[in-house]
Amino acid sequence: MKLIKLTTFWLGIEEAVYINPNHIGHIYNVPEKWDYGRVEKRQHTRVGVTTHNNGGFEVLESVEQIIKLIEENKK
């Protein structure tokens, strides 16, 4: 089993999360959210996995970067 390393963020803290690409169900971009003239939530990517029951992980890598990691992982 090969894992891909992505970067999550929670309460301003960035940390690594290792995901088995065989369990990814969906990936999509989430745009930056503004509230009262300030960034409430920065742009990120949602990675849904079949082993996680709350919608998946919010990561800093783009959809394109994740797809590239998955393709490189297959080699």
Comparison of pLDDT for 67 and 52, the residue scoring more: 67
**Stretch 40-54: mean pLDDT:** 79
54, pLDDT greater than 80: no
- pLDDT-based confidence at 75, cuts 50/70/90? confident
Classified as helix, coil or strand, 62 is coil
Q: How far out from the chain centre does Cα 69 lie?
A: 12
**Stretch 13-34: mean pLDDT:** 87
**Stretch 17-45: mean pLDDT:** 79
49-55-57 Cα angle (round to 5): 65
The reported pTM is 0.78
